[in-house]
């Protein structure tokens, strides 16, 4: 097991509500090719798509599978964003599903949490959900040149990371993507929300096998340094997590959160089609009956 | 002169006020974190900038994405969106209030997410007479501009005046567009996935070698550049074979993923733009700004 500072990390409660989907007046948005669509897929309770589902193929934009939560107070919402991490435990604390347990699976405009389908049947937008936030500040003690973002330490343990010697780590990933096809999210921080993969170009989708992406997949992005912000750096490598489904908007597509980043090629991606956090956490579409952890 | 549909476009009033520079409230630190990890305290976006104008260097200023000259926006949300969307590079601006009332300037660009300013050039004497809060009117003209011979080219933020002054020619349905250089897809940064009807697409400057090898090491504010494999038809983003062209509206940034912001002027998903490299293709000379 990789040595970390996990015993020094504070675990604290942050909370939000199940997000009602919202639409702006003039509801349409444009596809990259210009056609209008009504945005559906973000926020709310998604009954028929859970983490681990395909990222492509849905008649939905930025699909956030399972349950989304946010906080109405802007500063509490920032705390939710900066403190909660994939792999954290979540509990419903109000409403008919009170007591139901879930797992944080991603951070987008809202937090994406997987719950059992039976629990989702009982939930309602506005129900309060609390997360035991843990992982912000996580460091790899023997790999100070590799930064860690958005990871519950227990999820880090399940990523199948191997030590490769010479200060390098070997990480199973489903896809390796070049920095140049990354889109919306250069302007954001790796600690705050994902970066989309530009999927508007069919040739690029085919060239990098994007159509087989699943939410929950662990991927590598080459020549991408996410140590401080997100930037192009030759030889740098970032390990990401696919948090939401495809988008039809130009410069958008499946979302890629930042998990690990190194300014030099000291992370070696190893292709493994099963590298998916829903599989690792036994939840989402890969959940065994009756178990979510 | 290249043929367009400019006779069919509407010129309409939009307006805003000169914005004050803003810093984050306590207890936030006022620094930005540079890409090499240093906290740096630099002037923020906006205000009246007296000593940086179109035609000056884009790189090297101790500032974040410095806006040359004057930055305006409207505090009313709907008016702001109209101002930021309808005003085009090359449009005429007029001071409506204050000591510089009646003086004229020229729209030179826009800025991106988090600020969405309209950037305007005024002569030095006018700059000295302007005050934060002065109201500026822009005769917005250019949205919908179409080149008659190039149906696969979509214009953005482009005034007929700039289109006429630029030296564009057509070969069949492809436009030959003078630019100082071509930005490789790897250096497309902040602004990707965001609106191209306003806003900017940044040129990442973290790799000085790659920037220099693309002929962009001496980039100037006002320079016209092309982005290879970049579609800006609806938003901006990577698209193999697409070409977009814009004008450097702001200075460099010290943050990862950011750099000089480019206001997009035209785009072709089908690649019907041929960037014709030429030294000195800059708004200052094209529009006679001084």
Q: Is the pLDDT of residue B51 over 50?
A: yes
Q: Which fold has domain A6-135?
A: Thrombin, subunit H (2.40.10)
Place of tokens 């906080």: A71
Is residue B18 predicted with pLDDT exceeding 80?
yes
CA of B68 vs chain A CAs: smallest distance (Å): 21
pLDDT grade for A200, boundaries at 50, 70 and 90 = very high
Query: What pLDDT sits at residue A289?
Result: 62
| Nearest chain B residue (CA) to A233 | B207
State the nearest Cα–Cα gap between B103 and chain A, in angstroms: 36
Q: With cut-offs at 50, 70 and 90, classify the pLDDT of residue A293.
A: very low
* pLDDT, tens digit, 9 for 90 and up, residues B215-273: 999 999 999 999 999 999 999 999 999 999 999 999 999 999 999 999 999 999 999 99
Listed by start position, the domains of chain A span 6-135, 146-280
Q: Determine the pLDDT at residue A46.
A: 97
For A101, half-sphere exposure in the C-beta direction (CA atoms, 13 angstrom radius) is 9
* Position A291 pLDDT exceeds 60: no
Partners of residue B234 in chain A, C-beta under 8 Å: 30-34, 249-250
Q: How confident is the model at residue A292 (pLDDT cuts 50, 70, 90)?
A: very low
Q: What per-residue confidence (pLDDT) applies to A144?
A: 97
CA distance A149 to B211: 29
Of A63, A100, A68, the C-alpha closest to A84 is: A68
Residue-level pLDDT at A52? 98
**How far are the Cα atoms of A135, B77, B286 from residue B118, in angstroms, in the given order?**
41, 14, 19
What is the rounded average pLDDT of the residues A94-104?
98
- For residue range B79-97, what is the model confidence (pLDDT) as tens digits? 999 999 999 999 999 999 9
Topology at the third CATH level for domain A146-280: tm1086 (SG structure) fold (2.102.30)
Determine, for residues B186 and A223 on separate chains, whether the beta-carbon distance falls below 8 Å: yes
Q: Which of A83, A78, A242, A217 is nearest to A159 (CA)?
A: A217
- Around Cβ A293, how many Cβ atoms within 10 Å? 11
* Alpha carbon of B131: minimum distance to chain A alpha carbons (Å): 31
> pLDDT tens digit string along A238-251?
999 999 999 999 99
Query: Which domains are seen in chain B, by residue range?
Result: 6-140 (2.40.10.170), 154-286 (2.102.30.10)
Quick one: average pLDDT of A175-200? 96
Digit-coded pLDDT (tens) for A105-138: 999 999 999 999 999 999 999 999 999 999 999 9
Residue A290, pLDDT above cutoff 70: no
Q: What percent of chain A has pLDDT over 90?
A: 97
**Contact assignment for A198 to B239 by CB distance below 8 Å:** yes
Q: Is A201 on the interface with B (CB under 8 A)?
A: yes
User: Which tokens is B236 given?
Assistant: 């901006």
Sort out which chain B residues have CB atoms less than 8 A from A182's CB and list them: 192, 238
Closest residue in A to B114 (Cα) is A187
**pTM given for the model:** 0.94
- Give the distance from CA B28 to its chain's centroid: 29
Average pLDDT, chain A: 96
Question: Where would I find the beta strands (DSSP E) of chain B?
Answer: 12-18, 32-33, 39-40, 48-49, 69-73, 92-95, 104-110, 118-121, 135-140, 154-155, 169-171, 174-179, 181-183, 201-202, 224-231, 237-248, 261-268, 273-277
Mean pLDDT of all residues belonging to chain B: 96
The ipTM is 0.90
A6-135 and A146-280: same fold?
A: no
């Amino acid at each position: 097991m990789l040595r970390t500072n996990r015993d020094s990390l504070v675990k604290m409660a942050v909370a939000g509500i199940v997000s009602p989907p919202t639409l702006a007046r003039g509801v349409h948005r444009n596809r990259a090719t210009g056609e209008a669509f009504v945005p559906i897929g973000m926020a709310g309770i998604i009954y028929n798509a859970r983490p681990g589902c395909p990222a492509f193929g849905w008649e939905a934009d930025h699909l956030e599978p399972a349950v989304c939560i946010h906080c109405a107070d802007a500063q509490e919402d920032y705390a939710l964003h900066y403190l909660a991490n994939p792999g954290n435990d979540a509990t419903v604390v109000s409403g008919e599903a009170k007591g139901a347990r879930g797992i944080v699976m991603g951070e987008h405009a809202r937090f994406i949490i997987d719950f059992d389908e039976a629990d989702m049947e009982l939930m309602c937008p506005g129900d309060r959900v609390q997360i035991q936030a843990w992982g912000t500040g996580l460091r790899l003690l023997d790999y100070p040149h590799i930064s860690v973002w958005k990871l519950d330490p227990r999820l880090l343990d399940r990523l199948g990371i191997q030590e490769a010697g010479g200060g390098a780590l070997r990480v199973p990933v489903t896809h390796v993507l070049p920095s140049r096809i990354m889109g919306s999210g250069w302007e954001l921080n790796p600690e705050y929300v994902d970066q989309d993969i530009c999927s508007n170009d069919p040739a690029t989708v085919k060239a990098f096998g994007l159509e087989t992406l699943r939410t929950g997949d662990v991927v590598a992005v080459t020549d991408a340094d996410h140590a401080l912000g997100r930037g192009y750096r030759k030889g740098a490598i970032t390990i990401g997590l696919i948090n939401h489904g495809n988008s039809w908007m130009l410069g958008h597509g499946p979302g890629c959160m930042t998990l690990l980043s190194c300014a030099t090629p000291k992370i070696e991606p190893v292709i493994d089609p099963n590298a998916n956090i829903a599989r690792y956490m036994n939840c989402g579409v890969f959940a065994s009956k009756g178990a979510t952890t | 002169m290249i043929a367009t549909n400019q006779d069919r476009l509407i010129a309409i009033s939009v307006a805003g006020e000169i914005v004050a520079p803003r810093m984050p409230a306590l207890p936030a630190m006022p620094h930005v974190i540079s890409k090499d990890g240093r906290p740096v305290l630099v002037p923020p976006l906006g205000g009246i900038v007296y000593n940086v104008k179109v035609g000056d260097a884009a790189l090297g200023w101790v500032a974040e994405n410095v806006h040359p000259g004057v930055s305006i926006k409207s505090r009313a949300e709907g008016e702001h969106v109209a101002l930021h969307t309808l005003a085009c590079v090359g449009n005429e601006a007029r001071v409506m209030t204050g000591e510089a009332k009646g003086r004229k300037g020229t729209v030179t660009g826009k800025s991106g997410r988090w600020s969405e300013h309209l950037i305007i050039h005024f002569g030095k004497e006018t700059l000295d007479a302007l005050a934060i809060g002065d109201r500026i009117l822009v005769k917005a003209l250019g949205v919908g501009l179409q080149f008659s011979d190039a149906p696969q080219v979509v214009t953005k933020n482009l005034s007929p005046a700039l289109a006429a002054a630029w030296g564009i020619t057509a070969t069949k349905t492809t436009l030959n567009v003078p630019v100082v250089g071509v930005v490789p897809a790897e250096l497309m940064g902040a602004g990707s996935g965001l609106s191209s009807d306003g806003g900017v697409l940044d040129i990442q400057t973290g790799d000085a070698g790659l920037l220099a090898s693309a002929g962009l090491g001496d980039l100037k504010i006002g320079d016209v550049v092309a982005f290879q494999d970049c579609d800006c038809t609806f938003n901006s983003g990577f698209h193999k074979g697409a070409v977009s062209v814009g004008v450097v509206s702001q200075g460099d940034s010290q943050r990862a993923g950011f750099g000089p912001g480019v206001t997009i002027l035209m785009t072709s998903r089908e690649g019907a733009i041929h960037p014709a490299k030429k030294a000195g293709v800059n708004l200052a000379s094209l529009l006679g700004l001084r």
